[in-house]
Amino acid sequence: MTNAVITGGTKGIGRSLCQLFVAAGYNVATCSRNQDDLHLLKQELSHDNAEILVQKADLSKKNEIAAFASFIHESWSHVDILVNNAGIFIPGSILDEADGNLEKMMAINLYSVYYLSRHLVPMMAERGSGHIFNICSVASVEAYPNGGSYSISKHALLGFSKCLREELKGKGVKVTSVIPGATWTHSWEGADFPEDRLMQAEDVSKTIIGAYQLGPSAVVEEILIRPQLGDL
């Protein structure tokens, strides 16, 4: 049975991935800061052929990352897929944004990925198989006005993914950087755009499962996916 860990699984791309993986018969473990959202997600995903594990965790805190990782270790003997999806976006320019924005976004967008990977990826390396997907952003490859610390954190995440790929490629563990453009997620709530102007979360999750299903000798190192009409 395939075991998949997805952080931030109650909304957006994470939620779509949970739905898609369960439909494919994969076991899924996910976390969120909101227990009620996790309870509703578990009810929604309930499936006779897949195990659904949920745990409340604030990934800006090292002790809660460690607790979530321990929960995974206690529940499963191995992890096949790790999707580092949890993230936060606070708009603002470097010179004018609120003090603390950089620290908040680095904590979730980079440090949580670093620490959770250190807890779980050794399981993959020991087995000589596994696939890590880090959800980056077009902000990882180009700066834009009002991107500020968000772009800094996502550039750093892409750099982390490249380093991890080099370290793991001889150990049978794949690393893919997912670089989506504007996608209908929680971050866009209240935006006055036609729905077809942005990608759907399912568009991104389908590309991820497709990359996972490649043979063992091939890896998609980066997935850059944008709305047909371009980013906003």
CB half-sphere exposure, 169, CA atoms < 13 A: 12
Report the interhelical angle of 112-127 vs 62-75 (nearest 10°). Answer: 30
Q: How far apart, in whole angstroms, are the C-alpha atoms of residue 30 and residue 18?
A: 8
Q: Which residues of 129-165 are buried (b: 16+ CB within 10 A; e: fewer)?
A: ebbbbbbbbbbbeeeeeebbbbbbbbbbbbebbeebb
> Which candidate in 26, 111, 150, 212 is catalytic?
150
The reply to whether 144 belongs to the active site is: no
Tell me if residue 121 falls in helix, strand or coil.
helix
| 229: Cβ contacts below 8 Å, ≥ 6 apart | 197
Find, among 180, 223, 186, 179, the residue nearest to 199 by Cα.
Answer: 180
Active site residues: 150
